[in-house]
Amino acid sequence: MERVYIFDTTLRDGEQSPGASMNVEEKLRMAQMLERLGVDIIEAGFPISSPGDFESVKLIADKVRGLQVAGLARASFEDIDRAWEALKGGADPRIHTFIATSPIHMKHKLKLTPDQVFEQAVESVKHAVKYTSNVEWSAEDAVRSDVDYLCRIIEAVIDAGAKTVNIPDTVGYAIPNQWGQTIAEIMNRVPNIDKAVVSVHCHNDLGLATANSIVALQAGARQVECTINGIGERAGNTSLEEVVMAMKVRPALLEMETKINTEYLYPASRLVSNITGLPVQPNKAIVGANAFAHEAGIHQDGVLKDKSTYEIMTPESVGIATNDLVLGKHSGRHAFIDKIKRLGYDLEKEQLEVAFSALKELADKKKTIYDEDIEAIIAERILRLPDRFRLVYLNVTSGTVTVPTATVQMEVDGVVRQEAEFGDGPVDAVFSVIKKLTGKKPRLESFNIAAITGGTDAQAEVSVRIEESGVMSNGQASDTDIIVASAKAFVRALNKLEHRKQKTFMAHM
């Protein structure tokens, strides 16, 4: 079995999903989950892009020891120096430098000639290897680059010291057959290609990112750059869970393996969703709510007789618990701590106490407690940004013969305020009051409700996306009351919006 390296860029490219900004603490928690998952390399951020990115890359490099931590840098000495400052405390730090190689990018974006790009790529790698031998070089928009030029520049950067060369499909333009041929041509034509690991980074604009990654592996690539849930720019990236499980389910055909602990795939998926506020679509492969659901009678009959009739993998193999009832109001701390660890969370003593108290509160409202309920508690009470806005009190009046009215009390910068407003419906009334109290006027881009578990007492998970002054933000929250969940999600989105606007401002200073 050939070894494939998993390069996870959830914290860098994944965070570039609209509204998916993470704070430093959230990034560290995600990095610790990725370490538990068994990824080989984490791309922790783009250190020169903002003080926040520099801080998060440095913290992750200093704290997470069981894998390589990479920082992204353009092909400039300033970027590379800044990346090394953030990475140098890591166990095995990697500088990942890149430059575009396609005619359209060189002409319109870089405004450089191919010879100038060639020289800049080589010099940037030579500069990076002064700090570390673990240097990766990427040819941005490789799919639209001239293959002759690509082969020549790859040979040169390997000679300059690059130990990994990444061939990205930056805009999701590749078709599997053509992409496989391109990777094979590079493998055959670059004379020193055996001195580097060939990597691919595929985007999903045509829905082909996973397929393109697989054919690249079959053509000789041995590193895949991917994200949890496939999040990322535009339509996202190659989904880590999809490419990993493809190798695990079809070993005889692909003859490749990773060191991923697949039982943490689902917990990692849930953590990304909770932190970013980006819900996982129900029909998402591997980790979606319907991935192991069977409704058709013939399917149900087959699964009851033998699961392998309609399931090519088991829920347990990706970390989905099959036992429905996990905890209740009489459960003790030891059972709760054990469950938290099995779900992939590593909480401090004070955080465990907060979460355990919340469990008891929820158990008074619900008869049954599910894994998803516990994850929602952790997201609500533990994994959250410092709040500028905090919901204190909410009361709503609504009905067929009543004008929907909401009374809301909030803390805004530590000051308690209260207002009431009418609306077209209870959620609209609540959002109107929150806007009035906070002085914000974001546009609501999307609003989604899903039941986390079954039953009439299920918690509702509400996801909202808002936009203000060109800045997007997501908010996600859960409660047994849909209106309360909606208010919490909207407030969380506002807090993230403030954080994201500040981060954008700092990045342009």
The residue segments making up the domain with residue 336 are 297-381
| Between 183 and 330, the higher pLDDT residue | 183
Kindly state the tokens that stand for 138: 């990427």
Contacts of 34 (CB under 8 A, 6+ apart): 8, 10, 42, 67, 228, 268
Residue predicted with more confidence, 499 or 398: 398
| Residue finishing a domain among 345, 364, 381 | 381
**Shared-domain flag, residues 257 and 316:** no
> 343 and 480 in one domain?
no
The Cα–Cα gap between 221 and 214 comes to: 9
pLDDT digits (tens, 9 = 90+) for 460-503: 889 999 999 888 888 888 888 999 999 999 998 998 888 776 65
* Residues 72 and 163 placed together within one structural domain of the fold: yes
Measured between alpha carbons, how far is residue 458 from residues 102, 114, 159, 363 in Å? 51, 59, 59, 12
pLDDT, greater one: 411 or 507? 411
245: CATH? 3.20.20.70
Nearest to 44 by CA among 72, 77, 66: 72
Say how far apart CA 313 and CA 483 lie, in whole Å: 38
**pLDDT higher than threshold 60 for residue 293:** yes
User: What DSSP line would sit under 240-279, residue for residue?
Assistant: HHHHHHHHHH-HHHH-EE----GGGHHHHHHHHHHHH--P
d(CA 98, CA 92): 19
* Mean pLDDT confidence for 254-265: 97
pLDDT of 56-79, one tens digit each? 999 999 999 999 999 999 999 999
Q: Report pLDDT for 377.
A: 83
The mean per-residue pLDDT over the stretch 138-146 comes to 98
Do residues 494 and 411 lie in contact, with contact meaning Cβ atoms separated by under 8 Å?
Answer: no
* 161 shares its domain with 183: yes
Bridge pairing between strands 68-74 and 223-226: unpaired
Q: Is the same domain home to 310 and 431?
A: no
Q: What is the pLDDT of residues 191-233, one digit of tens each?
A: 999 999 999 999 999 999 999 999 999 999 999 999 999 999 9
For residues 48 and 118, state if they share a domain: yes
Rounded-to-integer distance, Cα 482 and Cα 328, Å: 22
Q: What is the pLDDT of residue 324?
A: 42
Predicted confidence at residue 109, as pLDDT, reads 96
**Is 289 among the domain residues?**
no
The CATH code of the domain that includes 490 is 3.30.160.270
Task: Express each pLDDT in 26-58 by its tens digit.
Answer: 899 999 999 999 999 999 999 999 898 999 999
Of the candidate ranges 259-263, 426-430, 444-448, the one whose mean pLDDT is the lowest = 444-448
* Dihedral class, residue 30 (left if φ above 0, else alpha if ψ from -120 to 50, else beta): alpha
Amino acid identity of 65? R
Question: Alpha carbon 123 to chain centroid distance?
Answer: 32
User: Taking 50 as the threshold, does the pLDDT of residue 323 lie above it?
Assistant: no
Domains in the chain, number: 3
Whether residue 495 sits in one domain with residue 355: no
Average of per-residue pLDDT values in the chain: 90
Q: Domain for residue 123, yes or no?
A: yes
Q: To the nearest 10°, the Cα dihedral for 12, 13, 17, 23?
A: 0
Residue 372 sits in the same domain as residue 396: no
Among 381, 405, 432, identify where a domain stops: 381
Alpha-carbon gap, residue 130 to 49, rounded angstroms: 22
Q: What pLDDT is attached to residue 385?
A: 59
Q: What DSSP element (H or E) covers 308?
A: none
pTM: 0.83
Instruction: Tell whether 284 is covered by a domain.
Output: no
Query: 408 lies in a domain?
Result: yes
Query: Is the domain of 375 the same as that of 405?
Result: no
Same domain for 185 and 56, yes or no, is: yes
- Residue 292 resides in a domain: no
Mean pLDDT lowest among 168-182, 299-313, 417-431: 299-313
Last residue of a domain, one of 330, 362, 381: 381
The pLDDT of residue 246 is 98
Indicate if the pLDDT at residue 294 is higher than 70.
no
Q: Has residue 437 been placed in a domain?
A: yes
Strands of 389-399's sheet in order across: 389-399, 402-412, 415-422
Has residue 297 got a pLDDT over 70? Answer: no
- Domain check: are 376 and 396 in the same one? no
301 lies in the same domain as 271: no
Listed in order, strand segments (DSSP E) in 61-134 are 68-74, 94-100
Query: In this structure, is residue 121 part of a structural domain?
Result: yes
Dihedral, CA atoms, 413, 414, 416, 422, nearest 10 degrees?
30
Cβ 139 vs Cβ 75: under 8 Å: no
Name residues whose C-beta falls within 8 Å of residue 3's C-beta, 6 or more positions apart in sequence: 222, 256, 257, 258, 259
pLDDT digits (tens, 9 = 90+) for 340-377: 877 777 788 888 888 888 888 888 877 667 777 887 78
State the DSSP code for 396: E
263-to-198, 320, 344 alpha-carbon distances in Å: 27, 8, 10
Q: How confident is the model over 298-311, as a mean pLDDT?
A: 70
Q: Across the strands, what pairs with 464? A: 447, 475
pLDDT (0 to 100) of residue 471: 85
Domain annotation covers residue 242: yes
pLDDT value at 508 more than 50: no
